[in-house]
Chain A
Amino acid sequence: MKITGKVWKYGDDVNTDVIFPGKYTYTIKERSEMAKVALEDLDPEFTKNAAPGDIIVGGKNWGCGSSREQAVSCLKERGLGAIIAKGFARIYYRNCLNEGLPIIVSPEAVDAIEAGEDVTVDFDRGKIVTKKGEFAFPPYPDFVRGLIEDGGLIPHVKKSLGLK
């Protein structure tokens, strides 16, 4: 798997309330509607203009705060290609794997990447290709790779239970 996309770059400790505001947690129920408010309280430009395949690059502790999975669903539904960050908050990390949204921890790549540049993530070779060079990242453990390849936890559980 290989994806190339335009980078939206943000800082440290971006929390789930600015990714998907709490006031929408019970008023917005459809994933397509969730996608329309993604990052509303962080970057209205992203909300308006993000395109499928784009890549978010964040600092440390991306996705801290609430367990709300909509903070991942809204980006997945938007067609986001991947999130590269210096680190992820624990629940957000699990939610990404469970939603089948690829995430990569690479502090070096985050420092090198500039907002707006095109970046390629080559999952088979474990490389992030940027303007300033290539950065290696370790491959996912097998069961995490399985989750992402199956499209997330729910399809993965269905498969493991032998359900269609």
Chain B
Amino acid sequence: MGKTFAEKALGKAAGYEVRANDVVTVEPHFCMSHDNAAPIAKTFKKIGVKNVWKPERLVFIMDHAIPAPSDEHAVNHKEAREFAKEQGMTHFYDVSSQGGVCHQIMCQEGFALPGIIMIGSDSHTCMYGALGAFSTGIGRSEMAAAWATGKIWFKVPESLKITVTGQFKKGVSAKDLILKIIGDIKADGADYMSVEFHGPAIEAMSLAERMTLCNMGIEMGAKNAVCPPDAKVLEFIKDKAKSDEWEALWADDDAVYAQELSYDLGDLVPCVAKPHAVDNYAPIDEVKGQPIHQAFLGSCTNARIEDLREAAAVLKGHKVAVRTIVIPASWSVYRQAMKEGLLDTFLDAGCVLCNPGCGPCMGNHEGILAPGEVCISTANRNFKGRMGNKDSFIYLASPVTVAASAIAGVFADPREVR
């Protein structure tokens, strides 16, 4: 009987053969924290251990509210900075042109690697599976305990296999696929499970598209989400891998799955997730023509160079009808967009650009909504109050659907922009 990806990765880390539902204790290869490194550091100090188990395994990336928009945030960043220094950490990404959204940096800078175990004090840590890592989000206490002990326990998850074939039609992208999947199996459809993406359409996808898929694994309850560590991944990590302990692990053909699903990309249409749940799927036709007040192109889900290119291609030669906030996922992406002239396209269209970071995604700054307002967003959550106001409405969509809607000032079908 073959093994799933999760059985192989957790078995390798545990040092013995494991099967779904076994409980293992493993040493994480990298532990990512963002602005919440500061409160975690306080919890860590309560344990009474002086030093973290291996400072080179910790990565801090300031992104949730940068540069600090308030004195509380400033103090928070200061505490994280001081802790990193005091512990002799080398992987600290501050407010600087090396930085960006934490999950983007973890992938871009070579921390996310095939077959390694990664934990992060953020639910979207599951994104690193796009590069073949076993990666999952945890809470603050658990991260503090991991820093102290170098250990974390996991129940080896059962797995959900999603096989994807076919090709996207014009105006349809990875975001439409993942919103459709979540709409079908619902917000708890993959609870506690490892989601494996298989099939020729996944192999044909860019790493950016795979990141969009894996990023949203948590929105269906998954413990982790993962794509095959193929030649594209190996080429990407070459020269930048931050560890040599990685190994390209993948599921056996005869692995045993709790559930299997299949999708043909040719069946998909542009869509949105309506308020206030990510599984509230609707084809664009259902909302077309309804007014919007703001468009947001950003976040760890959909603000890589590939996303910006697609949105810019739609916006070129048009003016936006509503305030449109563009936040590239990192300064590296920002620079590349600048070189390609994409930033000019956004500015010519009337968009505003903010510095790379999480921006308004979870209601910290740079685009909070007023009561009654509607925002179309490329981010990953449309929960009530998520963008800072409980009486506003967030719709999730792909970069091209967001761009088309920004031009129209109403929900619009990206296939119809001329």
Rounded to whole angstroms, the CA-CA distance of A18 and B279 in the bound complex is 16
CB of B236 within 8 A of chain A? no
Which listed residue (A27, A61, A67, A152) contacts B121, Cβ 8 A? A67
CB pair B384 A154 closer than 8 Å: no
- Contacts A153-B145, A158-B48 given; indicate if A90 touches B192 (C-beta within 8 A): yes
Question: Which residues of B sit under 8 angstroms from A68, Cβ to Cβ?
Answer: 139
Alpha-carbon separation in the docked complex, A161 to B147 (Å): 13
B187 touching A13 by the CB < 8 A rule?
Answer: yes
Are B383 and A67 in touch, CB under 8 angstroms?
no
Residue of A nearest to B77 (CB): A26
In the complex, whether B141 has a CB less than 8 A from a CB of chain A is: yes
Per-residue interface assignment for chain B, residues 361 to 399, with 1 indicating a CB less than 8 Å from any chain A CB and 0 otherwise:
011100010000000000001011110101000000000
Given contacts A18-B385, A22-B364, A22-B385, contact A98 B47 (CB under 8 A): no
**Is B98 part of the binding interface, using a Cβ–Cβ cutoff of 8 Å?**
no
Question: Inside 8 A of A67's CB, which chain B residues have their CB?
Answer: 121-123, 125, 137-139
In the complex, what distance in Å separates the CA atom of A17 from the CA atom of B142? Answer: 20
A29-B39 contact given A15-B383, A22-B385, CB 8 Å threshold: yes
A94 to B140, CA, bound (A): 11
Which residues of A are found within 8 Å of B364, using beta-carbon distances? 22-23, 25-26
Nearest-Cβ distance from residue B24 to partner chain A, whole angstroms: 13
B65 within 8 A of A: yes
CB distance from A19 to the nearest CB of B (A): 10
Partner of A26, one of B72, B141, B188, B385: B72
- Min distance, Cβ A42 to any Cβ of chain B, angstroms: 8
- For residue B123, which residues in chain A have a CB less than 8 angstroms away from its CB? 65-67, 91
Complex Cα distance, B187 from A95, in Å, reads 19
- Are A157 and B47 within 8 A (Cβ)? yes
Residues 322-365 of chain B, each 1 if its beta carbon lies under 8 Å from chain A, else 0: 00000000000000000000000000000000000000001110
A89 in the interface, Cβ–Cβ < 8 Å?
Answer: yes
Chain B, residue nearest A162 (CB): B48
The 8 closest A-B pairs by CB, nearest first: A22-B362, A61-B188, A69-B139, A17-B383, A95-B139, A163-B48, A23-B363, A41-B385
Interface size on A, residues (CB 8 A): 38
Complex Cα gap A17–B46 (Å): 27
> Size band of the B side of the interface?
35 or more
Kindly state the separation between the CA atoms of A3 and B187 in the bound complex, as whole angstroms: 31
Interface centre among B46, B138, B149, B383 (most CB of A within 10 A): B383
Report A-chain residues with C-beta under 8 Å of the C-beta of B218: 65, 91
Q: List the A side residues contacting B388 at CB < 8 Å.
A: 22-23
Closest B residue to A160 by beta carbon equals B149
Q: Which of B73, B141, B363 has the most CB of A within 10 A?
A: B141
Q: Looking across the interface, which residue of chain B has its beta carbon closest to that of A100? A: B141
User: B135-179 toward A: CB 8 Å interface, digit per residue (1/0)?
Assistant: 001111110110011000000000000000000000000000000
Contacts of A91 in B (CB 8 A): 123, 137-139, 218
Interface residues of B in 40-62 (CB under 8 A from A): 43, 46-49
Q: A22-B362, A26-B72, A157-B148 are in contact. Are A64 and B137 (CB under 8 A)?
A: no
Q: Which residues of A contact B274 (CB under 8 A)?
A: none
Cα A64 to Cα B276 in complex, Å, equals: 13
- A residues engaging B (CB < 8 A)? 13, 15, 17-18, 21-23, 25-27, 29, 40-41, 60-61, 64-69, 72, 87, 89-91, 94-95, 98-99, 152-154, 157-158, 161, 163-164
Do the beta carbons of A161 and B49 come within 8 Å of each other?
Answer: yes
Which residues of the partner chain A approach B368 to less than 8 Å between Cβ atoms?
23
Q: B221 an interface residue at 8 Å Cβ cutoff?
A: yes
Question: Known interface pairs A22-B386, A94-B138, A98-B141. Does A13 touch B148 (Cβ–Cβ under 8 Å)?
Answer: no
B191 within 8 A of A: yes
List CB contacts (< 8 Å) of B218-249 with chain A: 218, 221, 223
CA distance A163 to B140 in the complex (A): 20
Contacting pair A13 B49 (CB below 8 A): no
B35, B64, B191, B385: which contacts A89 (Cβ < 8 A)? B191
Given contacts A23-B363, A69-B141, 4 further A-B contacts (CB under 8 A): A17-B383, A23-B385, A90-B221, A154-B144
Q: How far is the CB of A7 from chain B (nearest CB, A)?
A: 22
Known: A61-B221, A64-B221, A66-B123. A21 touches B188 (CB 8 A): no
